Homo-oligomer: A and B are copies of this chain.
Amino acid sequence: MAVTIKDVAKLSGVSISTVSRVINDSKPVSPEVKRKVLEVIEEIGYKPNEIARTLVTKKSYLIGVIVTDLADSYVADMVRGIEEVGKMYNYDILLCSTYGDKEAELKYIQLLNRKQVEGMILISDTINDEIDEKISEYSIPFVYLSRYSKFDKYPTVSIDYHFAAYEITKYLIKLGHKNIGFVGYLEDENSTQIEKYEGYSKAMEEMELDPSFIFETQGISIGHGYEALDQSIIKNELTALFCSNDEIAIGALNYCYDNQINTPEDISVVGFGDISIASLIRPKLTTVKEPFYDIGAVAIRRVIKELRKEDVGEKHIKLPYQIQQRNSCIKI
């Protein structure tokens, strides 16, 4: 058994109350006594049991984080932001991955609650009613993070997808491109994919360009991007492709590579997100840089503010983004 506050009290000849006072600096303690107690603590290497502490103070200094999959680098980036800022305020992260399993998600929400987390951050593509209900039930600070979904009942942190898509399309146009295709997943009307499409078409229409070269994907992964392309990009004399996220863009790039279509010489490709691999592949991907790390950081900052009853500001926070110019895209 580890040393407890009792041992410290006994060895320093004071009551446990006094020991508690010195370790928490909560009430005045005479200098000599304080010195003595500190000495004993140092000597026997006493460390307060955080569990016992939590039981009485109700402060676990734990934030539950539920993610789909850490292997998605943007998720890992968000978690980094969450963790790093959390640590600044002494909060630790209890991590759960669902791999898209909604059952598991529900289970973890309840689990985290039982573990007395003080707040929760959910990173996932969708929220269903069951989940929604549980979250409302436990009235703890909560932030929903998704690069995909527009669900806005709960606080969120994201960027302006519509405008970002608009801007990068404009950028393409400024580079001289006229026949610009859109590659993305359009089935789900409640997704940011739609917003991106709208941004794209707005930019196109403003310049009286045709926004109907659409390659619909069946999802938002690399494979989906790869599968959505076909030789019509050549037939239609497309000179550029706006892919609704980086994964799709990489799929597109790979399709081109495998079919002897040179990028960016034959066709320029831009993505959306700036996930870590975007700058590692060749050609390096021109894309919209979503500040994933900051999104996580701001999310937990909000949770902590709420915990401290500070002003939390806007419910839906929009962060700035950047157009990240690289080599997958050239002037024509």
Which residues from chain A sit less than 8 Å from chain B, CB to CB? 45, 47-52, 54-55, 60, 62, 69-71, 73, 76-77, 79-80, 83-84, 87, 92-97, 110-111, 113-116, 137, 222, 250, 253-254, 257-258, 276-277, 280-282
Contacts and interface: CB of A to CB of B under 8 A. Distances in A.
A25 B276 CA distance: 48
A113 B253 CA distance: 48
Given A92-B94, A254-B282, 11 more contacts: A47-B113, A49-B55, A50-B116, A51-B60, A51-B116, A52-B55, A55-B55, A70-B80, A73-B73, A83-B95, A92-B95
A257 B277 CA distance: 16
Number of copies: 2
A45 B137 contact: yes
Contacts of A113: 47
**Which secondary structure characterizes the binding site on chain A?**
helix
Contacts of A114: 47-50
Closest 7 CB pairs of A and B: A70-B76, A257-B282, A50-B114, A95-B95, A50-B115, A47-B114, A51-B116
Nearest to A71: B76
A221 B155 CA distance: 37
A115 B282 contact: no
Nearest to A138: B2
B71 A84 contact: no
A81 to B, nearest CB: 11
12 contacts: A49-B116, A51-B55, A83-B95, A84-B97, A92-B96, A92-B115, A93-B95, A93-B96, A94-B94, A94-B95, A254-B282, A258-B282
A73 B222 CA distance: 17
Contacts of A93: 94-96
